Protein backbone atom coordinates (compact mmCIF):
# COMPACT_ATOMS: atom_id res chain seq x y z
CA UNK A 1 0.00 0.00 0.00
CA UNK A 2 1.27 3.48 -0.83
CA UNK A 3 0.91 6.07 1.90
CA UNK A 4 0.87 9.84 1.57
CA UNK A 5 3.93 11.71 2.81
CA UNK A 6 4.42 15.47 2.60
CA UNK A 7 8.22 15.25 2.30
CA UNK A 8 11.07 12.79 2.46
CA UNK A 9 11.93 14.32 5.85
CA UNK A 10 8.48 13.35 7.12
CA UNK A 11 9.19 9.74 6.12
CA UNK A 12 12.53 9.89 7.95
CA UNK A 13 10.80 11.17 11.08
CA UNK A 14 8.19 8.41 10.76
CA UNK A 15 11.02 5.89 10.74
CA UNK A 16 12.48 7.30 13.98
CA UNK A 17 9.20 6.20 15.53
CA UNK A 18 8.81 2.96 13.59
CA UNK A 19 10.87 -0.16 14.21
CA UNK A 20 11.47 -2.51 11.29
CA UNK A 21 8.54 -4.98 11.17
CA UNK A 22 10.99 -7.78 10.29
CA UNK A 23 13.78 -7.41 12.89
CA UNK A 24 12.32 -4.93 15.37
CA UNK A 25 15.25 -2.49 15.19
CA UNK A 26 14.79 1.21 14.57
CA UNK A 27 16.80 1.28 11.36
CA UNK A 28 14.39 1.88 8.48
CA UNK A 29 15.69 4.30 5.84
CA UNK A 30 14.14 5.78 2.69
CA UNK A 31 15.98 4.69 -0.43
CA UNK A 32 17.07 7.57 -2.62
CA UNK A 33 17.52 9.39 -4.88
CA UNK A 34 14.35 11.44 -4.54
CA UNK A 35 14.54 13.71 -7.58
CA UNK A 36 11.19 14.76 -8.96
CA UNK A 37 12.62 14.32 -12.47
CA UNK A 38 12.79 10.56 -11.85
CA UNK A 39 9.16 10.32 -10.87
CA UNK A 40 7.01 8.27 -13.27
CA UNK A 41 3.77 10.12 -14.04
CA UNK A 42 4.93 13.06 -11.93
CA UNK A 43 4.58 11.09 -8.70
CA UNK A 44 7.54 10.43 -6.47
CA UNK A 45 7.21 7.04 -4.80
CA UNK A 46 9.75 6.49 -2.08
CA UNK A 47 10.58 2.95 -1.03
CA UNK A 48 12.40 2.09 2.16
CA UNK A 49 14.44 -0.71 3.64
CA UNK A 50 15.99 -1.66 6.95
CA UNK A 51 19.64 -0.65 7.33
CA UNK A 52 20.23 -3.63 9.64
CA UNK A 53 18.41 -6.65 8.18
CA UNK A 54 18.09 -5.12 4.67
CA UNK A 55 14.45 -6.18 4.26
CA UNK A 56 12.17 -3.94 2.24
CA UNK A 57 9.56 -1.95 4.15
CA UNK A 58 6.19 -3.20 2.87
CA UNK A 59 4.63 0.22 2.19
CA UNK A 60 5.70 2.76 -0.39
CA UNK A 61 5.27 6.50 0.14
CA UNK A 62 3.81 8.93 -2.37
CA UNK A 63 5.47 12.27 -1.72
CA UNK A 64 3.20 15.24 -2.33
CA UNK A 65 4.03 18.03 -2.90
CA UNK A 66 6.96 16.92 -5.04
CA UNK A 67 10.35 17.03 -3.30
CA UNK A 68 12.28 20.11 -4.35
CA UNK A 69 15.72 18.74 -3.54
CA UNK A 70 16.84 21.96 -1.85
CA UNK A 71 19.98 21.15 0.09
CA UNK A 72 19.75 22.03 3.76
CA UNK A 73 16.10 23.01 3.64
CA UNK A 74 14.09 21.06 6.16
CA UNK A 75 10.41 21.29 5.51
CA UNK A 76 8.37 18.48 7.01
CA UNK A 77 5.02 19.52 5.59
CA UNK A 78 4.54 22.73 3.65
CA UNK A 79 0.77 22.26 3.56
CA UNK A 80 -1.76 23.14 6.27
CA UNK A 81 -3.03 19.54 6.24
CA UNK A 82 -1.98 17.38 9.19
CA UNK A 83 0.32 14.43 8.61
CA UNK A 84 -1.17 11.10 7.57
CA UNK A 85 1.91 9.21 8.76
CA UNK A 86 2.55 10.64 12.22
CA UNK A 87 -0.21 11.45 14.67
CA UNK A 88 -0.24 14.14 17.36
CA UNK A 89 1.30 11.76 19.91
CA UNK A 90 4.05 10.91 17.44
CA UNK A 91 4.90 14.58 16.77
CA UNK A 92 5.15 15.33 20.48
CA UNK A 93 7.34 12.23 20.97
CA UNK A 94 9.57 13.49 18.13
CA UNK A 95 9.75 16.94 19.71
CA UNK A 96 11.02 15.43 22.97
CA UNK A 97 13.42 13.08 21.24
CA UNK A 98 14.97 15.83 19.11
CA UNK A 99 15.16 18.30 22.00
CA UNK A 100 17.08 15.68 23.98
CA UNK A 101 19.41 15.29 21.01
CA UNK A 102 19.90 19.06 20.98
CA UNK A 103 20.82 19.05 24.68
CA UNK A 104 23.48 16.40 24.04
CA UNK A 105 24.89 18.15 20.97
CA UNK A 106 28.21 19.84 21.78
CA UNK A 107 28.33 21.97 18.63
CA UNK A 108 26.29 25.09 19.38
CA UNK A 109 25.02 25.68 15.86
CA UNK A 110 23.98 22.05 15.38
CA UNK A 111 22.22 22.18 18.75
CA UNK A 112 20.37 25.33 17.69
CA UNK A 113 19.35 23.73 14.43
CA UNK A 114 18.08 20.59 16.17
CA UNK A 115 16.10 22.73 18.63
CA UNK A 116 14.60 24.55 15.64
CA UNK A 117 13.66 21.24 14.01
CA UNK A 118 12.09 20.11 17.28
CA UNK A 119 9.92 23.25 17.19
CA UNK A 120 8.78 22.32 13.67
CA UNK A 121 7.48 19.03 15.11
CA UNK A 122 5.22 21.03 17.42
CA UNK A 123 3.95 23.01 14.42
CA UNK A 124 2.93 19.67 12.92
CA UNK A 125 1.28 18.58 16.20
CA UNK A 126 -0.70 21.84 16.27
CA UNK A 127 -2.24 21.06 12.86
CA UNK A 128 -4.41 18.50 14.69
CA UNK A 129 -6.00 21.18 16.91
CA UNK A 130 -9.22 22.72 15.61
CA UNK A 131 -9.15 26.51 15.78
CA UNK A 132 -9.84 27.70 19.32
CA UNK A 133 -9.88 24.18 20.77
CA UNK A 134 -7.74 23.21 23.71
CA UNK A 135 -7.18 19.59 22.70
CA UNK A 136 -6.60 17.77 19.40
CA UNK A 137 -9.40 16.30 17.28
CA UNK A 138 -10.04 12.62 18.01
CA UNK A 139 -8.82 11.76 14.49
CA UNK A 140 -5.44 13.12 15.60
CA UNK A 141 -4.84 9.85 17.45
CA UNK A 142 -4.20 7.09 14.93
CA UNK A 143 -3.99 4.08 17.25
CA UNK A 144 -5.58 2.82 20.50
CA UNK A 145 -2.13 3.28 22.11
CA UNK A 146 -2.12 6.95 21.13
CA UNK A 147 -5.62 7.45 22.53
CA UNK A 148 -4.56 5.76 25.77
CA UNK A 149 -1.51 8.03 25.93
CA UNK A 150 -3.77 11.05 25.59
CA UNK A 151 -6.13 9.79 28.32
CA UNK A 152 -3.22 9.24 30.71
CA UNK A 153 -1.31 12.45 29.96
CA UNK A 154 -3.89 14.99 28.85
CA UNK A 155 -1.83 17.86 30.22
CA UNK A 156 0.91 17.23 27.66
CA UNK A 157 -1.62 17.77 24.88
CA UNK A 158 -3.10 21.00 26.22
CA UNK A 159 -2.59 23.58 23.47
CA UNK A 160 -1.18 26.04 26.01
CA UNK A 161 1.49 23.51 27.00
CA UNK A 162 2.37 22.82 23.36
CA UNK A 163 2.57 26.56 22.65
CA UNK A 164 4.72 27.06 25.76
CA UNK A 165 7.28 24.60 24.39
CA UNK A 166 6.96 26.07 20.91
CA UNK A 167 7.93 29.51 22.21
CA UNK A 168 11.13 28.05 23.66
CA UNK A 169 12.30 26.70 20.31
CA UNK A 170 14.53 29.03 18.29
CA UNK A 171 13.47 30.35 14.91
CA UNK A 172 16.24 30.25 12.34
CA UNK A 173 16.21 32.97 9.73
CA UNK A 174 16.19 31.92 6.08
CA UNK A 175 19.77 33.19 5.89
CA UNK A 176 20.81 31.07 8.88
CA UNK A 177 19.21 28.03 7.26
CA UNK A 178 21.09 28.64 4.03
CA UNK A 179 24.46 29.56 5.51
CA UNK A 180 24.50 26.54 7.77
CA UNK A 181 23.09 24.20 5.17
CA UNK A 182 26.18 22.15 4.47
CA UNK A 183 27.32 21.84 8.05
CA UNK A 184 23.87 21.33 9.48
CA UNK A 185 23.11 18.73 6.86
CA UNK A 186 26.02 16.73 8.21
CA UNK A 187 24.53 17.09 11.68
CA UNK A 188 21.13 16.10 10.37
CA UNK A 189 22.42 12.85 8.91
CA UNK A 190 24.52 12.18 12.00
CA UNK A 191 21.31 12.55 13.95
CA UNK A 192 19.46 9.95 11.87
CA UNK A 193 22.37 7.53 12.10
CA UNK A 194 22.15 7.33 15.88
CA UNK A 195 19.25 4.85 15.69
CA UNK A 196 17.60 6.53 18.60
CA UNK A 197 14.59 5.00 20.27
CA UNK A 198 11.52 7.15 20.89
CA UNK A 199 10.82 7.77 24.56
CA UNK A 200 7.10 8.27 24.51
CA UNK A 201 5.56 4.86 23.85
CA UNK A 202 4.33 5.76 20.40
CA UNK A 203 3.00 2.74 18.52
CA UNK A 204 3.37 2.74 14.74
CA UNK A 205 0.41 2.07 12.51
CA UNK A 206 1.90 -0.15 9.86
CA UNK A 207 -0.93 0.62 7.45
ZN1 LIG B 1 15.15 -4.93 9.97
77 found inside a domain: no
| In a shared domain, residues 116 and 167 | yes
Distance between Cα 93 and ligand 1 center (Å): 22
Q: What is the mean pLDDT of each run of 10 residues along the chain (207 residues)?
A: 88 92 91 60 80 91 73 73 97 94 89 91 97 96 96 96 96 73 46 45 54
Q: Residue 70's pLDDT is what? A: 52
Instruction: Please give the tally of structural domains in the chain.
Output: 2
Q: Residue 37's pLDDT is what? A: 52
Q: Residue 76's pLDDT is what? A: 87
| In a shared domain, residues 105 and 183 | yes
19 found inside a domain: yes
| In a shared domain, residues 94 and 188 | yes
Distance between Cα 46 and ligand 1 center (Å): 17
Q: Residue 144's pLDDT is what? A: 96
| In a shared domain, residues 59 and 106 | no
DSSP for the chain reads -EEEES-HHHHHHHHHH---TTT--S-EEEES---GGG-GGG-EEEEEEETTT-PBPS-EEEESSPP---TT---S--SSSPPSSS-HHHHHHHHHHHHHHHHH--SHHHHHHHHHHHHHHHHHHHTTSPTT-SS--GGG--SHHHHHHHHH-GGGG-HHHHHHHHHHS----HHHHHHTHHHHHHHHHHHHHT-PPPSS-------
Q: Residue 45's pLDDT is what? A: 84
| In a shared domain, residues 94 and 30 | no
Ion ligand 1: protein residues whose beta carbon lies under 5 Å: 20, 22-23, 50, 52-53
| In a shared domain, residues 47 and 93 | no
Distance between Cα 194 and ligand 1 center (Å): 15
Q: Residue 63's pLDDT is what? A: 87
Q: Which domain holds residue 129?
A: 88-193
Distance between Cα 202 and ligand 1 center (Å): 18
Amino acid sequence: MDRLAHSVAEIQLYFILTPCPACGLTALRPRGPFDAADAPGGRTIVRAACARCLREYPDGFVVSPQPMGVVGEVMFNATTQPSELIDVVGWIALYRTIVEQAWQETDKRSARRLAWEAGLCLDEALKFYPRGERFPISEGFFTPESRARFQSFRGQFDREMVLHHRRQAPNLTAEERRSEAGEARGGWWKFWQKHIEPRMGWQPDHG
